[in-house]
Amino acid sequence: MGARYFGASVRRLEDPKLITGRGAYVDDIAIPGMLHVAFVRSPHAHARIEGIDAEFARSMPGVHAVITAADLEGKADAPMILPVPAPIIKQVKTQYPLAFRSVHAVGDTVAMVVAESRALAEDAAAMVMVDYEPLPASVDLAHALDPGAPVAHEGSPDNLIATLKGGFGDVAGVFGKAPHVFKERIEIHRGGCHSMECRGIVVRPDPMGDRFEMWSSTQVPYMVRRYLAQYMGMEESAIRVAAPDVGGGFGPKAVVYAEEYALALAALHLRQPLKWIEDRREHFVATTQQRDQIWDLEVAADENGRMLGVKGVCLHDNGAYIPYGIVLAATGMASFPGPYALECVDVTMHSIFTNMVPNTPVRGAARPNTCFLLERLADLVATKLGMDPAEVRRRSFVKPEQMPYTTGMKARDGSPVAYDSGDYAGCLDMALEKYGRDFRARQAAARAQGRYLGMGVASYVEDTGLAPFEGATIKIQPDGKVHLQTGAAAQGQGHKTVFAQIAADQLGVRLEDVTVEAADTAAFPLGIGTVASRVAVLGGSSVHMAAIEVRGKAIKVGAMLLEAAEADMVLEEGFVKVAGTDRKVGLGEIALKLNGLFGTPMMKGIEPGLSATSYFEARELTFANGSNVCEVEVDVETGAVKILRYVVAHDCGRLINPMLVDGQIRGGVVHGIGNALYERMIYDESGQPLTTNYGEYLLPLATEMPRIEIVHMESPSPRNPLGVKGAGEGGTIPAAAAVIAAVEDALAPFGARIMKHPISPQDVVEMIEAGTPAVAAE
């Protein structure tokens, strides 16, 4: 069977209902008798709760209940489950569904009001009187480990969650004899995911007993089921969790949240269906965020500008709780040494509690952080040695002939990290080729006119296809249509289309004859979740395997029915055919036969049903890579940065649907541009968030964003049957590094060195004012 769909930019199966207003997101669900929830949230970053008076609120019109921790029988003092325990975590602090005696971030859930409408619930929430005793808050990451610093959790000895150490090689030896060692402090600031759909939950208890169904805008329905079952002491089979259409996820929707626990508990208690829809201000204070880190780094390089080693110590802000354990810091650590064949790495990361919104993976997880560090260090080496930044990278890259390349670092499960395939220098050169070679001349000409152009490059390697598995069932129905079920949830990526492409090729059917049902624990038994760019790799491979099995069975039965040899069978247009003849039998006809008829015995040796279920288990990660080139113009009067061009060379192995991969890359790059130039989640010294709407927190807009020019290299992964690698985060990972490098290059005449993001126009103006024009790099 030739690949008609695999590799083709087919239009999405998801679109028709979404462009006509017929999508079905959580907030579109209406169940008769459904009540609405509003949460009372902490206005303090850190406080003791001395008392809650909900008496008046309970008497208000339309209010059915006001629930506080004290009302959660047996669960008041039971913190939420820690999903990823690790022995090195010194203090396990997870949130409570409703605050128990204390709050640790503005936005913590304190009480929930259940009323006949959202408006009435909000009216009553405002009238719940909570007596707080405010406490000093841990907000200053740089000093959060200092003796005497305010602690985020009253009674804790300090703010340290865990210290992670990683590395390899002879660090003292390499740094001791390296001709060049440079030091920098690099700071990376937090932002949010800002999916356009906020979070939302609808829960319906079963009128017949202690069971419930939940629709949540989650990336991980199976994890929601797992942790709610565990917490509530219920069988998993008594809980159905489904993710309907989800309006963007970008990481934070992979957390199992206090609101999910609270709604499940309340719905069973009240025996009423409940809905809670997060509003945008809640999203700013109750949905996890990411990226705050402060690093002190050193890079060693030889006299030719080849990077030899990196060492660093990091203060990693984990926020108020550890809903994701220390996964984020560990991901950042495992992302060293990036695309570079370093002789040594020595990294220490202190994961720290603060009284701010918890940090969990946001698009790229901590990979954009590590990429930013390594790329800033590469540029530092280039600046110091007066070299072309691209050349520093070429000399330092892992080379294609070194594949598979064992980096020296360890993955989360302790196994050695080994890159599977790729040509990192080749990818960088593709990007530069696409960009053109005339920049330095244009830059000089522009400077002569008082205009400041800059160009930056950034390269990265990304681990994708995270273990353990995803699975799929494919069933041929009696009408010949293909029904595909999988646990893998989607938030806009187009997984349904991609899965249908893979299945349709194997089964010889049209794309539109495949229907895909996903992310519903009632439809498919097991799933993990949509994180770490893993769904095409694991979900896609499982679809491929199931489709091959169904195909084999269709051929076997078809050959029996047509009295021909299996080797002569082909699958085309929904039929099993004897090649080169008009003898054929429809897939639907075979399915009907295999689905059984009263009194008619099954064919000998053939199990019922034309269907198969397969799981693809990832044993090793697959590694995507790429290089970006960004060109900016900086207005030295206003500090404004305008992106003039943005080029991406991207290698995620074989492309299933280039149009969708390009869509992932573009959106990802723009997210990274936001992190570099616009998005700034500011807290004051008492832990009050100051940027809680889109007037204060800026997201990238159409008027500022460039076109993203994309070229692909395809280095197939040997680690899955499709040869694919993940594509969901590779746009974001290098983008901030490329943009900041370009701005720094534009400001080279002022001696600017930019070791943080985001940067504001004010930062740029200050750098210009501090700098001396036209001084060559030291």
Partner 1 sequence: MDGIEETRRIRLVVNGKTVERAVSVRKHLGDFLREDLRLTGTHLACEHGVCGACTIIIDGVPARSCLMLAVQADGLNIRTVEGLAEPDGTLHPIQDAFHEKHGLQCGFCTPGMLTTLAAVLEENPEIDEAGIREAISGNICRCTGYETIVDAALSAAATMRQAARGGL
The number of beta carbons lying within 10 Å of the beta carbon of residue 20 is: 8
> Which region among 242-250, 334-342, 580-588, 601-609 touches partner 1 (by CB under 8 A)?
242-250
> Which region among 107-115, 315-323, 499-507, 692-700 touches partner 1 (by CB under 8 A)?
692-700
Q: Are 461 and 422 in contact, with CB atoms under 8 Å apart? A: yes
The answer to whether 61 contacts partner 1 (rule: CB under 8 A) is yes
Q: Smaller CB distance to partner 1: residue 11 or 185?
A: 11
Is the alpha carbon torsion for 60, 63, 64, 65 positive or negative? negative
Residue in 411, 183, 163 with CA at minimum distance from that of residue 310? 183
The strand pairing partners of 623, in sequence order, are 463
Q: Smaller CB distance to partner 1: residue 283 or 584?
A: 283
> Which region among 102-110, 194-202, 303-311, 608-616 touches partner 1 (by CB under 8 A)?
194-202
Beta strands in 491-574 (DSSP E): 514-518, 569-572
Q: How far is the CB of 219 from partner 1 (least distance, A)?
A: 12
User: Which of 8, 25, 442, 763 forms a contact with partner 1 (CB under 8 A)?
Assistant: 25
User: Which of 201, 428, 670, 736 forms a contact with partner 1 (CB under 8 A)?
Assistant: 670
> Which region among 291-299, 375-383, 602-610, 697-705 touches partner 1 (by CB under 8 A)?
697-705
The answer to whether 32 contacts partner 1 (rule: CB under 8 A) is no
Q: Smaller CB distance to partner 1: residue 196 or 208?
A: 196
The strand pairing partners of 63, in sequence order, are 115
Q: Are 342 and 304 in contact, with CB atoms under 8 Å apart? A: no
Size of the site for partner 1 (CB under 8 A): 57
Q: Are 336 and 166 in contact, with CB atoms under 8 Å apart? A: yes
Q: Are 220 and 256 in contact, with CB atoms under 8 Å apart? A: yes
Q: Smaller CB distance to partner 1: residue 9 or 415?
A: 9
The answer to whether 368 contacts partner 1 (rule: CB under 8 A) is no
User: Which of 40, 67, 107, 123 forms a contact with partner 1 (CB under 8 A)?
Assistant: 123
Q: Smaller CB distance to partner 1: residue 21 or 32?
A: 21
The answer to whether 703 contacts partner 1 (rule: CB under 8 A) is yes
- Cα–Cα distance for residue pair 670/643, rounded to 1 Å: 11
User: Which of 335, 351, 354, 491 forms a contact with partner 1 (CB under 8 A)?
Assistant: 491
Residue in 414, 460, 468 with CA at minimum distance from that of residue 164? 414
Q: Are 630 and 571 in contact, with CB atoms under 8 Å apart? A: no
CA-to-CA dists, residue 638 to 103, 526, 643, 708, angstroms: 42, 54, 15, 25
User: Which of 1, 3, 8, 18 forms a contact with partner 1 (CB under 8 A)?
Assistant: 18
Q: How far is the CB of 28 from partner 1 (least distance, A)?
A: 4
Angle between helical axes of 367-385 and 389-396 (0-180°, round to 10): 110
* Secondary structure class of 258 (helix, strand, coil): helix
* Secondary structure class of 10 (helix, strand, coil): coil
| DSSP assigned state of 79 | P
The answer to whether 667 contacts partner 1 (rule: CB under 8 A) is yes
The answer to whether 580 contacts partner 1 (rule: CB under 8 A) is no
User: Which of 195, 272, 351, 464 forms a contact with partner 1 (CB under 8 A)?
Assistant: 195
The answer to whether 279 contacts partner 1 (rule: CB under 8 A) is yes
The answer to whether 399 contacts partner 1 (rule: CB under 8 A) is no
Q: Are 295 and 189 in contact, with CB atoms under 8 Å apart? A: no
The answer to whether 744 contacts partner 1 (rule: CB under 8 A) is no
- Cα–Cα distance for residue pair 344/419, rounded to 1 Å: 17
The answer to whether 97 contacts partner 1 (rule: CB under 8 A) is no
The answer to whether 679 contacts partner 1 (rule: CB under 8 A) is no
Binding mask 209-238 for partner 1 (x = CB under 8 A): ------------------------------
| DSSP assigned state of 724 | B
The answer to whether 659 contacts partner 1 (rule: CB under 8 A) is yes
Q: Smaller CB distance to partner 1: residue 309 or 734?
A: 734
The answer to whether 84 contacts partner 1 (rule: CB under 8 A) is no
The answer to whether 245 contacts partner 1 (rule: CB under 8 A) is yes
Residue in 352, 345, 286 with CA at minimum distance from that of residue 315? 352
The strand pairing partners of 517, in sequence order, are 485
**Is residue 379 within a helix (H) or strand (E), and if so which, with residue range?**
helix 367-385
User: Which of 147, 303, 582, 693 forms a contact with partner 1 (CB under 8 A)?
Assistant: 693
Q: Are 463 and 652 in contact, with CB atoms under 8 Å apart? A: no
> Which region among 7-15, 224-232, 266-274, 527-535 touches partner 1 (by CB under 8 A)?
7-15
Q: Smaller CB distance to partner 1: residue 30 or 208?
A: 30
The answer to whether 196 contacts partner 1 (rule: CB under 8 A) is yes
Residue in 772, 752, 748, 775 with CA at minimum distance from that of residue 764? 752
Q: Are 338 and 459 in contact, with CB atoms under 8 Å apart? A: yes
Q: Smaller CB distance to partner 1: residue 70 or 119?
A: 119
The answer to whether 129 contacts partner 1 (rule: CB under 8 A) is no
> Which region among 192-200, 332-340, 389-397, 601-609 touches partner 1 (by CB under 8 A)?
192-200
CB hemisphere CA count around 681 (13 angstroms): 25
User: Which of 2, 30, 563, 619 forms a contact with partner 1 (CB under 8 A)?
Assistant: 30
Q: Could you identify the residue written with the tokens 């991980």?
A: 220
Indicate the pairing of strand 212-216 with strand 239-242: parallel
Provide the edge-to-edge strand list for the sheet that holds 469-476.
514-518, 482-486, 469-476, 611-617
The answer to whether 271 contacts partner 1 (rule: CB under 8 A) is no
Q: How far is the CB of 630 from partner 1 (least distance, A)?
A: 14
- Cα–Cα distance for residue pair 490/221, rounded to 1 Å: 11
The answer to whether 695 contacts partner 1 (rule: CB under 8 A) is yes
> Which region among 102-110, 339-347, 489-497, 713-721 touches partner 1 (by CB under 8 A)?
489-497
Q: How far is the CB of 492 from partner 1 (least distance, A)?
A: 3
CA-to-CA dists, residue 431 to 29, 158, 457, 652, angstroms: 46, 47, 9, 15
Contacting residues for 181 by C-beta, under 8 A, at least 6 apart: 175, 298, 299, 300, 301
Q: How far is the CB of 9 from partner 1 (least distance, A)?
A: 8
- Cα–Cα distance for residue pair 93/151, rounded to 1 Å: 13
Maximum Cα interatomic distance, the chain, rounded to a whole number of Å: 93
> Which region among 13-21, 256-264, 567-575, 609-617 touches partner 1 (by CB under 8 A)?
13-21
The answer to whether 247 contacts partner 1 (rule: CB under 8 A) is yes
- Cα–Cα distance for residue pair 359/368, rounded to 1 Å: 14
3-state SS, 410-466, equals ECCCCCEEEECCCCHHHHHHHHHHHHCCCHHHHHHHHHHCCCEEEEEEEEEEEEECC
Q: Smaller CB distance to partner 1: residue 248 or 609?
A: 248
Q: Smaller CB distance to partner 1: residue 43 or 663?
A: 663
The number of beta carbons lying within 10 Å of the beta carbon of residue 583 is: 16
User: Which of 642, 694, 721, 773 forms a contact with partner 1 (CB under 8 A)?
Assistant: 694
User: Which of 337, 361, 389, 492 forms a contact with partner 1 (CB under 8 A)?
Assistant: 492
User: Which of 168, 250, 257, 683 forms a contact with partner 1 (CB under 8 A)?
Assistant: 250
Q: How far is the CB of 63 from partner 1 (least distance, A)?
A: 11
The answer to whether 254 contacts partner 1 (rule: CB under 8 A) is no
The answer to whether 27 contacts partner 1 (rule: CB under 8 A) is yes
Q: How far is the CB of 350 from partner 1 (least distance, A)?
A: 31
- Cα–Cα distance for residue pair 289/292, rounded to 1 Å: 9
The answer to whether 705 contacts partner 1 (rule: CB under 8 A) is yes
Interaction site with partner 1 (CB under 8 A): 11-12, 14-16, 18-23, 25, 27-28, 30, 60-61, 119, 123, 193-198, 245-248, 250, 279-280, 491-494, 659-660, 662-663, 666-671, 693-695, 699-703, 705, 707-708
